[in-house]
Structure 1
C-alpha cells in the first residue's frame, strides 16, 4: 500500500490558477466584476533556480545563432566580392554582421551578468529569436526575388534557416510543449509573410508562383512538419527524462520505483545511499520544469511543509535540484491509506474511529494555524492513515502546496499578496463558501469547514454535496444547507450521536462566525463527544492486523 496515489475521479480534483476546471466568473455578477482569489506565492514567476537555467540556455542560444549568423555573413561577403553581379547587396551584408554582433554580445552579457530578472529574460528571449526571425525573413524575401528576376526560375523556398531557428528554440529554451508549439507557429509566420510581400510587390514573382504554386505548398508543408518534429522531440525528451528518473540517483538518494503522481510532480520510493533509510522523493514533472509558476508552487510547498514539526504533519528531510534543473524534495515514506482510499475500500468509518482520526487532524492544524498557515486543500485524499513506531491509525496531513499565510509574524518570511481574475484554489467537494465566492480572503475557519466536509465523508461515504458539475457543487456550498450525517448512514451501522451530528453541521456553517473559531476549539468539542473513547490503540492494532496484508506479513 502506498501513500501516493494519482487522482482518479472528481472527488480528488484540486482547482488552482491553471486548472481546466477554474471558474471564470461568479454566476451572480456581471463579466466586468473581478473576483479576488488568492494565488499561491510565486505566480510572478520570480524563481531564482528557474531564472538561472533560462538565462544559461538563452545565452547558449544567442551565441549559437550569433556565430551561425557570423559565419553566414562571411560566406555572403565572399560570394558578393567574387561575383560579377551582386546577389543580396551590401545593405543585407551589413545587417547580417550587425545581427551577428548583437546576438554574440547578448549571449556574452547573459553569461556574465550575475542574475537577470524574469522580465529581462523574457525580453532577451523575444529579442534573440525575434531579431533572427526578421533577418531570416528578409533573406527569404531577397532569395525569392533574386531567383525569379535573375534566373527566371520558379523559386524553391529557402527553408534551411527556419529549420535551424525552430529547433534551436525547442532545444535551448526550457519550455513546455504547448509553449514550443506556440513559439514555433509564430516563427513560421515570418516566411509566409515574406513570401506574400514578394508576391505583392513583384509581378514576375507573382507570375512564377501562380504558374506553379507547388513551391508555396511545399513551404507550408515543410513548416508544419518542422513544427510537428520540434514539438514531438520536446515531448519525447520529457518522456525519456521521466523514465530516466527511475534509474538514476538524486544527490544522496537512490531512486527505486515510481509510486504515484500528482498535478505538480511524480513521487518515487527512494533510499538514502549511506543510511539505507527508505524515503519518498517528489520530483517536479519534466513538462513543468520550464514553468516558473510551477517551480514557485513546488518551492512554496517545500518551504511551507518544512516549517511544520507536529507528528501529524508529513515531515520533510531534504530539498535539492538536479544537474539538469529538476527540483525535488525528500519526505518520510509512509505506508497506509488515504481517508479516500480507506472509505472506498472499507466503507464509512464507525463514529468512534472517525472522531479518533479527526482529533489528530486538528492537532496538525493547531500547529499550522499557530504559525499563520491555512491549508486551503483539506480533503480525504490529503489525509493519510498509517502505522508509525508501533502505533496504529496515525494520521498524517499531506500536501501543503496551496498553503497560504494568514498573518505576518516576526519569524515568518514575507509573502506577496497576489490576486487573479477568474481562478479558484481548492477542491470543489470540500471548498468553503468563502473560497467558492472569492469575496474575502479565507482564514483558518475555511480549513474548519473543509474538515467538516471530510468528517461528513468518512461517516457517510459521500461528500456533503453530491458529485456533479463543478459549478453546481460550488453553488451548493454557497447556498444549500447540508443534511445531518446520521440521516445518510446505512441501516445497521453504528449510530451517530446528536452531538456528533451537531458538531459536523457546525463545521459546515455557511458563515465563518458560526463555525468553530479554531482547531483547538474543535478538538475540545471532539474530545467531549460520547464517541470520544469508543476507539483506541488496541482496536486500531486489531483492525490493521486483520485488514492489511502488509501488517499481516510483518507481524506474522
Structure 2
C-alpha cells in the first residue's frame, strides 16, 4: 500500500477557507465547525444503563435475601422443639417447607443471574416481579396458616405474637424493593403498595374460606391490630416510593452529567497533559467516537483553553486521511470544552515498540512515509505540529488497510499565517515533549518552521528503530539541553542491522541546524522511498501481523518526559 499523498492546498487557500467563517453582519468570528446542539437522545442510553444496573441490583438483592432466609431457617431449626422458640410455630411443619421453598427459589434466581451476564430489561423485570411476587405470596400463605392454626388451637396469644413477628418479612421486602431495585417512582409505587395489601388479602382469604372461625381471630381482626399493621406497611411503601423517586432522579442527573451534547460517555481510555480522552457513543447513530475534553480547573488559565480550542479548529481544517478526523466540538455550561474525533482501534507507536520491541527497517519506512504526508499536508495549510512523538502517531486499521498511521493531538500547533494565534503558546513559554523536541524548539526560538516537525519525525524514527529516544536525561531540562548541544549517537550503536541508507536519512533529520535537514517533508518522504528497505514491508505483511496480536488502546509513555510539557524560558538562549 502506497502511503497517501499530500494535499496541494496552499496557506492562501486555507486562509480563504477560514475567512468564510466570519459573520459580517454580527461582526463576530465563528468556527468553521458549528458547536453541537443538545438532543433528546437519552431514552435508549438511560434505559441501557438501567438494564445494567437492574441486573447488578437483582444479583445483590437475591444474594442478600439468600443470606437472610438462610439465617432465618437456621434460627428456626436451632430453636425448634421448645428450645427458646415459639411453641405455636414449632408445631407448624409448613413453615419449614416454606423456608426451604424460599431458599430454593432465591438460590435458583441467584445462579441464573450469575450464569447469564447479558439479559434484556424485559427478562430482568420478569425475574423481579416473579421474585417479589412469589415471596409475597409465600408470606400470605404463612400468615394464613398461622391464623388457621391459631383459630383451631385456640392459642390466640401465640398466634398474635407470631403474626406480628412475621410483619418484619413484608416490611423488609417493601424497603428492599424501593431502595435497591431501580425504577421510576410510579413503577416502585405499583409494586410496593401491592405488597402492602398483603395483610388485608390474608384476612380476606381467611374470611372467604373459614367464615365460621373469624370470630376466633380477635387478636388479628381487631380494629387496633389491623390499623397498626396497615400503618406499618403503608409507611414502608411511602418511604420506598420516595426513596425510589430520589434515587431515580439522582441517577438521571448523573447520566446527564456524563453527556456531552449528542454524545454519551462510555469509559475513560486515556489522559495526558491537556485533558482526558473518553470513549463515547453518538446517541442516534450509535457510532463509537473518541472525545477529548479539558475542564476549566484543569486548564488553570484562559490561554490553555484557547490552545485547546485552536487544536480542534486547526485539526478540523485538515483533510488528509492520515490525520485524525474531527466530527464536532462544544462547550458545557461549566466551561468544559470538548471535541469529538474518530475512534481508532489499534495502538500508538509508543505502545507498539514498548510491547513488541523495535520495528523492522521496512516497517519503519512504511509508517514514517504516511506520517510525512500527513504532516506535509498540515504544513501546506500553514500549520506546524510541534509535538510529534510516538504517542501522537497512532497505528490503526482503516478501510481494510492495516498499519495505517493517524497523526493526533495538534494542541501545540503553530499557525504560520496567523501570528496572533501562535503567541498563545510561544510567548515566554517552551512547549513540547522533551524527548522529541527539536534544538530550536528547546531553546525557545520563536521562528519555527516545518523543519522542527522533521526533527521530531527523525527522533520518532530513531525510537522505532532502537526502542529508545535519541537523548535521555534525569530531567526535562537535561534532555532539552542534549537536543540543543549534543551530537546524537548513530542508531547502529544500539542495533547493528539498521541499513546504512536509512540511518543516514534519520541522522539528517536530526541535524542540529534546520538548514542541514531536508528542505521539506516531501524531500524526506522521497528519501525514505529511495531506501533499499522501502519495499520490505507491505499491506499483506501488515495484515498478517495485526491478525496475530490483540492491540490495546490508550497511551503509555515510556518515561515522564514522554509527556508534553510547558516551561517558562528563564535561562539564556543557547545558540547553535
Are 1:315 and 2:350 matched, yes or no? no
Deviation per CA, 1:476-535, whole angstroms, max 9, x where unpaired?
111111121122116xxxx22111010000000011010011010100111111011100
1:374 aligned to which of 384, 398, 407: 384
Deviation per CA, 1:149-183, whole angstroms, max 9, x where unpaired?
xxxxxxxxxxxxxxxxxxxxxxxxxxxxxxxxxxx
Conserved? CA contact 1:340–1:380, under 8 Å: yes
Conserved? CA contact 2:307–2:425, under 8 Å: no
Conserved? CA contact 1:482–1:508, under 8 Å: yes
Unaligned residue ranges in structure 2 (runs of 5+) = 1-27, 32-249, 554-576
Residue 521 of structure 1 is matched in structure 2 by 523
Are 1:332 and 2:342 matched, yes or no? yes
Q: Secondary structure at the match of 1:376?
A: coil
Residue 285 of structure 1 is matched in structure 2 by 295
CA 1:482–1:246: 2 relative to 1, 3 Å = farther
Conserved? CA contact 2:307–2:424, under 8 Å: no
Conserved? CA contact 2:471–2:479, under 8 Å: yes
Conserved? CA contact 1:432–1:450, under 8 Å: yes
Q: Secondary structure at the match of 1:424?
A: strand
Q: Secondary structure at the match of 2:429?
A: coil
Task: Find the aligned partners of 1:523 and 1:388 in 2 and give their Cα distance.
Answer: 21
Task: Find the aligned partners of 1:360 and 1:460 in 2 and give their Cα distance.
Answer: 20
Unaligned residue ranges in structure 1 (runs of 5+) = 1-45, 50-239, 552-556
Task: Find the aligned partners of 1:398 and 1:366 in 2 and give their Cα distance.
Answer: 14
Are 1:400 and 2:410 matched, yes or no? yes
CA 1:339–1:498: 2 relative to 1, 3 Å = same
| 1:286 Cα deviation from its structure 2 partner | 5.2
Map 1:102-501 onto structure 2 (within 5 A): 244=254, 248-285=258-295, 287-288=297-298, 291-407=301-417, 415=421, 417=423, 422-489=428-495, 495-501=497-503
| 1:420 Cα deviation from its structure 2 partner | 6.4
Structure scoring higher RCO (CA < 8 A, sep ≥ 6) equals 1
CA 1:369–1:416: 2 relative to 1, 3 Å = closer
Conserved? CA contact 1:478–1:510, under 8 Å: yes
Task: Find the aligned partners of 2:307 and 2:429 in 1 and give their Cα distance.
Answer: 15
Conserved? CA contact 2:275–2:293, under 8 Å: yes
Larger-Rg structure: 2
Residue 143 of structure 1 is matched in structure 2 by none
| 1:324 Cα deviation from its structure 2 partner | 3.0
Deviation per CA, 1:180-236, whole angstroms, max 9, x where unpaired?
xxxxxxxxxxxxxxxxxxxxxxxxxxxxxxxxxxxxxxxxxxxxxxxxxxxxxxxxx
CA 1:462–1:290: 2 relative to 1, 3 Å = closer
Task: Find the aligned partners of 2:446 and 2:286 in 1 and give their Cα distance.
Answer: 48
Task: Find the aligned partners of 1:299 and 1:549 in 2 and give their Cα distance.
Answer: 30
Q: Secondary structure at the match of 1:547?
A: coil
Conserved? CA contact 1:298–1:401, under 8 Å: yes
| 1:439 Cα deviation from its structure 2 partner | 3.7
| 1:265 Cα deviation from its structure 2 partner | 1.8
Map 1:524-539 onto structure 2 (within 5 A): 524-539=526-541
Deviation per CA, 1:257-280, whole angstroms, max 9, x where unpaired?
111112222211111111111111
Map 1:24-35 onto structure 2 (within 5 A): none
| 1:244 Cα deviation from its structure 2 partner | 4.8
Q: Secondary structure at the match of 2:431?
A: coil
Corresponding residue pairs, total:
307
